[in-house]
Structure 1
């Protein structure tokens, strides 16, 4: 079963294998194993609790956990084997899938959640294609979390300031870093495309070529780690926080989505005459109805909601429109074969498997329920009412009440995800912020 993996390891003279899986926050968990040990035992075991840690390393309440802490059966996916280009010794990484001892997919594994949603589309004869856009900030090293972040020093010896959107010279400030990022991506077959400077100080965006949804989620999962490692090598940090700096725009993971008819190979969002299909409108209708109910997958942390404010290049509602960047759902100008919907809601802090799965689940429900969208908007959507929950707590309650999404993504998974989010909120409210000390300590 794993002969192709073993042959590749031998040909590439690999000495170590990073056996990894994404947890519920998108963090890489797993083991580093010598190549010979891996070849003798490619499958491994880890407790399910590894998957359901909060971002601080805690766990949901005890009544949600199996206190016997049982092991999962983990199997490597041969399609995911790649070099680890920054490792000192020849090292490979491979992503694992999670199964119960009975051979069933583990419901709380993010990769399995996405596979579950994709199966619904397969049963309809459709294959989703996605193309993520990844925004992130470069920042100076910041070992003290109480100190605000600042842009790094570039080749001119100065920190960036002001607005440098699409400025080539601003990207050139960090050419050695980006050359290394592209080299690392090439070595791992990460299909990155365009690099631009975004609106914020030292805020960048790298786009991916469109492709299979699971493969793209894998690529984004590996890309975040790649960018961080390259930044460390150049004595700076790269952050995928949704809103890392006061006064600067937030960072998004825009998800371009289309559906391919598996029988014909054509874009199911377009009719033969090139006009938009019913599926296209149903898909948008599903996003409009269900995105406000599923915010924990697109704004997973307290910090995430700082990004979603008016006039900051982030959406405030689920209006849609053609080539309109003020709406939550943008339809870019394209040929009929390239017709797609850009979901602009997700912050770049999301788990890419879960954000992709939920966005597609919303679209699927629109198709299933034949939901018609509102009329496309050609004006400024920021002038319209805010349509999302404004706090993590409110977003959790909306998700808890959304039974159709629980059915598509798995009820046990959604319950566990809510448990993780509730624990994170409780942990957050135990922290006293610098703002509170600054304005309340001696003034109230």
Structure 2
């Protein structure tokens, strides 16, 4: 979509306000909100480069020289990706949200911006003549409203008037306890063109999992970013909270995001992880070997907070090893059938 198309899109939806967003390294939306007219006339919005070194609770490193950013706390420009424009379904006035890329004043990309990192990786695949395909699965908890951080989180009250107790893996009735919330979640996601697939109840009390359809990694990264925001907003509309924290309750199972990964031929769509006989290809085995080699170095990304490591325990279906196997949930790298 071009800037001209954006004008038409804004007119079609009678947009009065725009949320200009970038995802930081913790997945939190950072940016500016402005009138729609200002969006087209005011030039590129600017933010301090330091937004990319904030923690999930908003702190900055004690020593700026230990970071990848300029110690002068310089500004960066936000460049809209017009293809990411979507409505904000919960807004009171017609509001657009647009994900932006980031550039320095001289036009070079900001290297630590998460979208730029992913785009750089995708270029490596393109240069090889490969196309990666992903499908994320997100787990999260619904919890009762908690306005005092000193109080423990508890399951919310569902339609039955009771809090969930025990273990209800894959229970349809347990999901239906919050059917109005999930119906609105799907409606809001449809309005944003988020490609949701199945919804299941996970092991924990009021813990659920949402699967996304397979697709382009950058597009799905954007969708996951917007989905987490959507779920939190929908939960608030139903007077409860939603949390994607790894281990929000010490006595309940942890939450994670699983990512199905494959590589295909961009022209034919052929799965490059399988040979003509349907068995694992050399490329697949090399891919597994690469994951086994580099996952330890990537752990600060996979598990960025202290809370993340509370989930990584034995006998919890958590990926605490580098083994791989077919349809084996005890392996850190599980290869499903099909």
TM over 0.5: yes
Q: Which has the higher contact order (CA 8 A, sep 6+)?
A: 1
Aligned match of 2:249 in 237, 240, 245? 245
Query: How far did residue 123 of structure 1 move?
Result: 0.7
Given the alignment of the two structures, is residue 155 of structure 1 paired with residue 156 of structure 2, yes or no?
Answer: no
Partner of 2:16: 15
**In structure 2, distance between residues paired with 1:80 and 1:235:** 29
**In structure 2, distance between residues paired with 1:169 and 1:5:** 43
Given the alignment of the two structures, is residue 52 of structure 1 paired with residue 56 of structure 2, yes or no?
Answer: no
What's the secondary structure of 2:227's corresponding residue? helix
Provide, for residues 203-236 of structure 1, a one-character-per-residue CA deviation record: whole Å limited to 9, x for no partner: 0001000100000000000000000000000000
Aligned match of 1:291 in 295, 299, 317? 295
Query: How far did residue 66 of structure 1 move?
Result: 2.2
Partner of 1:180: 184
Contact 2:140 2:209 (8 Å CA) reproduced: yes
> Normalised by the size of structure 2, how large is the TM-score?
0.96
Once the two structures are overlaid, the 10-residue window that deviates more, 232-241 or 271-280, is 271-280
Query: How far did residue 240 of structure 1 move?
Result: 0.5
Provide, for residues 300-358 of structure 1, a one-character-per-residue CA deviation record: whole Å limited to 9, x for no partner: 10000010101112122011111111111111110xxxxxxxxxxxxxxxxxxxxxxxx
Contact 1:42 1:75 (8 Å CA) reproduced: no
What's the secondary structure of 1:211's corresponding residue? coil
1:410-421 maps to which residues of 2 (within 5 A)?
none
Given the alignment of the two structures, is residue 201 of structure 1 paired with residue 205 of structure 2, yes or no?
Answer: yes
**In structure 2, distance between residues paired with 1:227 and 1:326:** 29
**In structure 2, distance between residues paired with 1:41 and 1:326:** 54
Given the alignment of the two structures, is residue 234 of structure 1 paired with residue 238 of structure 2, yes or no?
Answer: yes
What's the secondary structure of 1:183's corresponding residue? helix
Contact 1:42 1:76 (8 Å CA) reproduced: no
Distance 1:280-1:42 versus aligned 2 partners, 3 A rule: farther
**In structure 2, distance between residues paired with 1:236 and 1:73:** 36
Contact 1:125 1:263 (8 Å CA) reproduced: no
Aligned match of 1:74 in 78, 87, 93? 78
Query: How far did residue 273 of structure 1 move?
Result: 3.1
What's the secondary structure of 1:87's corresponding residue? coil
Query: How far did residue 262 of structure 1 move?
Result: 1.9
Contact 1:249 1:313 (8 Å CA) reproduced: no
Partner of 1:439: none
Query: How far did residue 171 of structure 1 move?
Result: 0.3
What count of residue pairs does the alignment treat as equivalent?
334
Given the alignment of the two structures, is residue 109 of structure 1 paired with residue 118 of structure 2, yes or no?
Answer: no
CA RMSD, 1 decimal: 1.1
**In structure 2, distance between residues paired with 1:14 and 1:294:** 41
Distance 1:42-1:182 versus aligned 2 partners, 3 A rule: farther
Query: Structure 2: 5+ residue runs without aligned partners?
Result: none
Query: How far did residue 42 of structure 1 move?
Result: 5.6
Given the alignment of the two structures, is residue 170 of structure 1 paired with residue 174 of structure 2, yes or no?
Answer: yes
Q: Which has the higher helix share?
A: 1
Partner of 2:64: 62
Given the alignment of the two structures, is residue 220 of structure 1 paired with residue 192 of structure 2, yes or no?
Answer: no
Q: Which has the higher strand share?
A: 2
Partner of 2:27: 26
Query: How far did residue 58 of structure 1 move?
Result: 2.0
Query: Structure 1: 5+ residue runs without aligned partners?
Result: 335-444
**In structure 1, distance between residues paired with 2:82 and 2:272:** 30
Partner of 2:91: 87
What's the secondary structure of 1:155's corresponding residue? coil
Partner of 2:128: 124
**In structure 2, distance between residues paired with 1:84 and 1:57:** 24
What's the secondary structure of 2:53's corresponding residue? coil
**In structure 1, distance between residues paired with 2:238 and 2:273:** 43
Provide, for residues 170-224 of structure 1, a one-character-per-residue CA deviation record: whole Å limited to 9, x for no partner: 0000000000100010000000010000000000001000100000000000000
Provide, for residues 226-266 of structure 1, a one-character-per-residue CA deviation record: whole Å limited to 9, x for no partner: 00000000000000000011111100100000011124321
Contact 1:24 1:51 (8 Å CA) reproduced: yes
**In structure 2, distance between residues paired with 1:29 and 1:62:** 20
**In structure 2, distance between residues paired with 1:281 and 1:67:** 43
Contact 1:164 1:200 (8 Å CA) reproduced: yes
